[in-house]
Structure 1
Amino acid sequence: MEIAEILNVTVPLSDITFESVVLAVLVAIIGWIVVKVLTAAFTQMLSRVSKLPDLVVEFLVRFFAILLYVLLTLIVIATIGFDISSVVIGLSAVIGLILGFGLQDTVTNLAAGVWLAAFRPIDKDELVEVNGISGTVVSVGIMATELVRADNTYITIPNSLVWGSPVINSTRMETRRVEVKVRVPYDSDLDVAIRVATELMTAHEGVLPSPKPAVVVTELADSSVNLALRAWAKTPDMWDVQWDLNRGVVQAFRVAGIAIPFPKVDVHLERIH
């Protein structure tokens, strides 16, 4: 049997020929390559022409790629021999049926993704907290936002939840205030403790001179006077500054002869006759 005859043989239980199947496979392969090329070109165009943030560019590229793959799928189906118009109508009916049976969250997440990309309450590589979940933003996709926590745990959050919840962005601002809490005994010289703590913050190279570092009394507790060391630092330096001040205030108070008291509870016993 010649190749031409083989290609003209129909698939069992259908009118589809092997020739149309082979052609559809070729179209799918070539189309996949074309989609990759067009997606790469679209990405470069957005990066060069526009000043959009990386997160917005990534969202638009994903959306563009999905549209191209849907178009490629329709072309492949048409190449096999199906009527595209009936397929489109069928897909529309299926989508409508799915939405009618309670998958409206899909559309909600899609819309939320558009708003997140447009208004950018979060951006790529920022440290955020959403609904009690903290992590670094990896991407905002069509349906979900992806975070990575400090312990390298990968988290996916639906876009609707991100858009509908308060978002705490820890790295958006250029500077952050560091606060270190410490206690001193009631019988200690409070002025000396404040001076030592202030000198500690002022001497740290990561502490910004403005706003000036300050030490405030936050509470007159049961067994101590509670102080708070407050200093401003650049956001990337914040955690290093906080760790250094936590360690340094213990050493500085020890040198100055200022104790850090333990909580105490006085217990009085009465003898019952």
Structure 2
Amino acid sequence: MEIAEILNFTVPLSDITLESVVLAVLVAIIGWIVVKVLTSVFTKMLSRASNLPGLVIEFLIRFFSVLLYVILALVVLATLGFDVSSVVLGLSAVIGLILGFGLQDTVTNLAAGVWLAAFRPIDRGEFVEVNGISGTVTSVGIMATELLKPDNTYITIPNALVWGSPVINSTRMETRRVEVRVAVAYDSDLNKAIRVATDLMTAHAGVLSSPEPVVIVTELADSSVILALRAWAKTSDFWGVQWDLNRDVVGAFRGAGIEIAFPQVDVHLGRVR
């Protein structure tokens, strides 16, 4: 059997010839290489644009890559002899049918991803709280945002929820205010307690001198006076400062003879007549 006859062999139950199959495979391989090259070039071009945020670059790269793969798939189908125009129309009809059955969330997530990449309420590496979930942003994709929680749990949140919910960004600003609350007994010397707490904050290397640390009375509780130690620190030092103040204020108050109160109830018993 000659090579021409082999290439003209038709796949059973179809009009696809072996020649078109081989050609489609070659197109797929070459197209895959071209997509990788174009994606790499596109990535380098965007990386040189220093004014573009990282999330915008990542979003555009993913979108461009998906678009190229879709085009490649259509070219391969056309090589096999399929009518690509009919395929496109068929896909459009299927997409319209799916959306008609209430799966508009896909389009909503896609649009939300565009807005997140453009306006950047969150960025890669920032610690945020979204819809009650806290974690470090690892990426914002076309459809979903990915967070890594402090316990190394990976969370994927649909972009529509991120865009439609309040976002608490804990690392966007350069400084943050630390607040540590402590309860002291009513018979304690409040002025002395405030002075000891202020000296404690001032002496900490991570506490900024401006704004100055302050101690205020926030509440007159049932069995104690609540003091709030408020100090400003660099965002990177926030947790270290808060943990140190929570630990050290106990020793500082004990050393100064200031009683740290605990909840208590006075019960008076009387004789029933």
Normalising by the smaller structure, the TM-score range is over 0.9
Structure 1 match to 2:249: 249
Please list every run of 5 or more consecutive structure 1 residues that lacks an aligned counterpart in the other structure: none
Q: Percent identity, aligned pairs only?
A: 81
- How far 1:50 sits from its partner (Å)? 4.4
Partner-residue secondary structure (3-state), 1:10: coil
**Aligned equivalents of 1:147, 1:26: Cα separation in 2:** 39
What is the CA deviation profile of residues 40-86 of structure 1, one whole-angstrom value per residue up to 9, with x for unaligned ones?
11111011034111111000100000110110000000011111111
Structure 2 residue runs of 5 or longer lacking an equivalent are: none
Question: 1:39 corresponds to which residue?
Answer: 39
- Partners of 2:101 and 2:19 lie apart in 1 by 40
The letter for the 1-side match of 2:154 is: Y
Distance 2:148 2:98 in 1: 32
Q: Which amino acid aligns with 2:222?
A: D
Deviation >4 Å, runs of 4+: none
Matched to 1:250, the amino acid is V
Number of positions where the alignment pairs a residue of Structure 1 with one of Structure 2: 273
Q: If the length of structure 1 is used for normalisation, what is the TM-score?
A: 0.97
Match of 1:149 in 2: 149
- CA RMSD in angstroms comes to 1.0
Specify the code of the residue in structure 1 equivalent to 2:17: T
Q: Which residue is equivalent to 2:80?
A: 80
CA distance in 1, matches of 2:131, 2:27: 46
Partner of 1:29: 29
- TM-superposed CA distance for 1:254, in Å, is 1.2
Taking the aligned partners of 1:4 and 1:194, their CA distance within structure 2 comes to 96
> 2:127 and 2:193 mapped to 1: Cα distance?
34
What is the distance in 1 between the residues matched to 2:29 and 2:50? Answer: 31
Quote the residue 2:135 is aligned against: 135
C-alpha displacement at 1:2, in angstroms? 3.6
CA spacing shift, 1:2–1:269, aligned 2, 3 Å: farther
Tell me, in whole angstroms, the C-alpha distance in 1 between the residues paired with 2:98 and 2:258.
Answer: 69
Could you say which residue in structure 1 is the equivalent of 2:117? 117
Q: Aligned partners of 2:107, 2:13: CA distance in 1, in Å?
A: 38
Letter in 1 for 2:39: T
SS of aligned partner of 1:263: coil
CA shift for structure 1 position 206: 0.5
Could you tell me which residue of structure 2 aligns to residue 159 of structure 1? 159
- Whether 1:174 aligns to 2:194 is no
What is aligned with 1:67? 67
Secondary structure of 1:137 counterpart? strand
